[in-house]
Amino acid sequence: MDYSRLVRLNQGLLTGTALLGLGSIVAGAVGGPMWGGIANFTAGMVANYLGALVDRLRTSSDVLRNEDIAKAAGRAVGKTLLETISPRYPEIQKPLEALAEKTEGYWVEWAEQAKTLNLFESLQEDQLHQIFAQKPETFTDYQVLPKEQWQEVVRWLFEQGCENGVLLDSLESYQDVIGDLSQELEKNFNKNLRQVLKDDAASGGKAFAGMLFDLHGATLAKIDAIQEYLPKIASKEDVCRLLQQLDTGIRDELSQIRETLQQYFDLNRPRLPIPQECETVIADRTLDFVGREYVFTAIRDFLQRQPKGYFILEADPGVGKSAILAKLVQLLKRRCLTHFNIQAQGIIKPQQFLENICTQLIEGYNLDYPRLPDKTAEDGNVLARLLGEASKTLEPGQKLVVVVDALDEVDSSSQTQGSNILYLPDALPDHVYFILSKRPKQLPLPLSDYQTTFDLMQYPAESARDARRYAGNRWRQSPQIQEWVKSRNSSPEQFFTELVAKSENNFMYLRYVLKDIHDGLYESETLDSLPEGLQRYYQKHWRLMGMNANPLPIDKIRTIYVLCLVREAVSRFLLAQLTEIAEYQLGPILKEWEQFLRAQKVEKETRYTIYHASFSDFLKEQAEDSGVDLENIKRCIAENFAKGAPL
């Protein structure tokens, strides 16, 4: 990027940051969390004072310290990268987190190149109208930079990371991350900046309150009429007070539950060592998460009222059990022990569960074991002992929580006859809780006096409400879906109502159908012709892909069935061996199956598994009609692994 372009981008970003900082003081002053007086203030601003404010800003750049503004902008960008983007890329999360920590410093260096600029020399009145004279819900709509310029800024940031050795791969390998971060900043930079300012104010305003106090004094405070709407701001401490009551727009509907749950954990301790495969599931399943407050309320109440025990979340496939538990892990800031059984990846054995949870217990609670004790994976005795030892390290009021997903996917064939699923103990130490999920099927669960089952299927109205919100979010994000609805003379409300009814409140159905509409696969379909229920969706999609054609598309069929049965994340190289299809021919086939697969990076290589167990179930039911010999595929897989074939 050439120098002049870099400076121009910097000017726009720092100007926007300063204006949003000033707007944050106003929002905290006249509205606070409930926006009580914002209407009167904005009416006055529209009527009389925007022009005067423009003049004051244009002549007040000398009171700004560009370095302070740059720190605020850089910290907001870093916060977005750290908290929102890096969890989506678990395979490179650590270097992205390292880059996030360096971001503020890079911004300060950048600001040095623009320190002589008059930031407000080209300021227009309509820019202030967006910040100071809008309804509360549109207060953060002011566009600091358009998406294309955010992409340039983010690309520059990643260039710094590569040049300084923070990022070890080439710049081009981060294109997906750059795109995601640019889009997120375009949408939410304002909110994250406000949160940065609010957090700074809560810690005494050491970084930014002085700069904002000076800016306010040189602008808003110089216009007497504006002071009718604002309390007196006579010190940096006044700025901190106003910012602390600021509604940042970041607190969501789960914030109160989050705060209650987090009080049971020592947040100063490091996160527990959650396995990478679990991190991948957590990032994936929480990407478009909505609602479910009533489930988390039930979990909170269970933890509050019971001295220990088992909370079991039960629901049909695709209704959202894994997503709920993944979100719970996030709400607990990863201070809970975590295990996701994943059938498609072969993580379904009791031995894997025992080794994983015992490792987390030893490392997370600093138990005195240099390695896993002998016989850890043989039965539940070591697990029970470690739970007891870890519980004794808890401070008063703290709890030890273990989250375990998909008990129904566990292969218990190797367990001792009559034992509980995963060797879960009947008796738990005080303050120890397991949050479990399963389909509605009989399993050998622990016999405990402190056990409750939460049947998600008994909450159809709440599930329908959340499903509608999910569909609404996807509709807003996709012009293609909006056009599809409009071209069928349907209103958004009618579309949401009928789609949710057809989905039977199944989020997996919504995920697939909305993606198909977005991708143009349903151009010949109407709202009435959409399939009803997840199983019928699978059947319809099978036909749309030509899987019942004569002759059968053997390559496509064989590829998906190998992925169904392999129970490991496999590379394209191994998939070519298992299917006997040339590697270059697999690309188009995998593209067709894309929405049913989870692709993950392992050592710079993409590996594939089936996304959801319900699709594996469907494939097994379809096997005979598709001319697939499941036993033959299993033998082929076993032979390849026996020969040491690389994944």
Q: What's the rounded Cα separation, in Å, for the pair 244 and 205? A: 10
Q: What's the rounded Cα separation, in Å, for the pair 581 and 597? A: 18
What band does 610 get if pLDDT is binned at 50, 70 and 90? Answer: confident
In this model, does residue 39 exceed pLDDT 50? no
**What residues have CB less than 8 Å from 370, skipping those under 6 apart?**
none
pLDDT at 280: 82
Domain boundary among 436, 458, 480: 458
In this model, does residue 225 exceed pLDDT 90? no
CA atoms within 13 A on the CB side of 280: 18
In this model, does residue 136 exceed pLDDT 70? no
Residue 151 tokens, joined: 């992409």
What band does 38 get if pLDDT is binned at 50, 70 and 90? Answer: very low
Task: Return the higher-pLDDT residue of 198 and 54.
Answer: 198
- Determine the structural domain holding residue 297 and report its residue range: 251-458
In this model, does residue 164 exceed pLDDT 80? yes
- Are both 495 and 579 inside the same structural domain? no
Task: Return the higher-pLDDT residue of 637 and 347.
Answer: 347
Residue 231 lies in a domain: no
What band does 29 get if pLDDT is binned at 50, 70 and 90? Answer: low
- Are both 176 and 212 inside the same structural domain? yes
Residue 388 lies in a domain: yes
- Are both 414 and 477 inside the same structural domain? no
What band does 326 get if pLDDT is binned at 50, 70 and 90? Answer: very high
- Are both 485 and 451 inside the same structural domain? no
Tens digits of residue pLDDT in 93-117: 889 999 999 999 888 887 776 555 5
In this model, does residue 344 exceed pLDDT 70? yes
pLDDT at 580: 80
Task: Return the higher-pLDDT residue of 640 and 468.
Answer: 468
The one-character DSSP state at 419 is P
Task: Give the total number of structural domains in the chain.
Answer: 4
- Are both 266 and 415 inside the same structural domain? yes
pLDDT at 435: 97
Average pLDDT of the chain? 81
β-strand pairing of 309-314 with 451-455: parallel
Q: Which whole number is the average pLDDT over 563-578?
A: 79
Q: Which whole number is the average pLDDT over 389-406?
A: 94
Residue 305 lies in a domain: yes
In this model, does residue 310 exceed pLDDT 60? yes
- Are both 431 and 500 inside the same structural domain? no
- Are both 583 and 518 inside the same structural domain? no
pLDDT at 592: 74
* Contact in structure between 91 and 602 (CB atoms under 8 Å): yes
Among the ranges given (228-232, 275-279, 608-612), the one the predictor scored with the smallest mean pLDDT: 228-232
What band does 34 get if pLDDT is binned at 50, 70 and 90? Answer: very low
Give the best-scoring range by mean pLDDT among 24-38, 251-265, 535-549: 251-265
Helix H segments across 319-459? 321-331, 350-364, 381-391
In this model, does residue 642 exceed pLDDT 90? no
Helix H segments across 203-267? 209-218, 236-244, 255-262
- Are both 59 and 184 inside the same structural domain? yes
Helix H segments across 375-478? 381-391, 460-477
**What residues have CB less than 8 Å from 644, skipping those under 6 apart?**
none
Best CA proximity match to 189, nearest among 75, 291, 56: 75
pLDDT at 35: 37
Give me the sign of the Cα torsion angle 133, 134, 137, 143. negative
Cis peptide before 551 (omega within 30 of 0): yes
Residue 136 lies in a domain: yes
Q: What's the rounded Cα separation, in Å, for the pair 126 and 158? A: 32
Give the best-scoring range by mean pLDDT among 22-31, 104-113, 387-396: 387-396
Tens digits of residue pLDDT in 621-640: 777 666 677 787 777 777 76
- Are both 505 and 415 inside the same structural domain? no
Residue 229 lies in a domain: no
pLDDT at 253: 64
In this model, does residue 400 exceed pLDDT 60? yes
* Contact in structure between 451 and 306 (CB atoms under 8 Å): no
In this model, does residue 531 exceed pLDDT 50? yes
In this model, does residue 241 exceed pLDDT 90? no
- Are both 315 and 440 inside the same structural domain? yes
In this model, does residue 130 exceed pLDDT 60? no
- Are both 525 and 559 inside the same structural domain? no
Domain boundary among 499, 530, 561: 530
Residue 520 lies in a domain: yes
Give the best-scoring range by mean pLDDT among 131-135, 174-178, 616-620: 174-178
Q: What's the rounded Cα separation, in Å, for the pair 403 and 281? A: 13
Among the ranges given (116-130, 252-266, 417-431, 575-589), the one the predictor scored with the smallest mean pLDDT: 116-130
Tens digits of residue pLDDT in 54-97: 677 766 666 566 678 888 889 999 999 988 888 888 788 889 99
Task: Return the higher-pLDDT residue of 290 and 41.
Answer: 290
- Are both 171 and 278 inside the same structural domain? no
* Contact in structure between 540 and 531 (CB atoms under 8 Å): yes
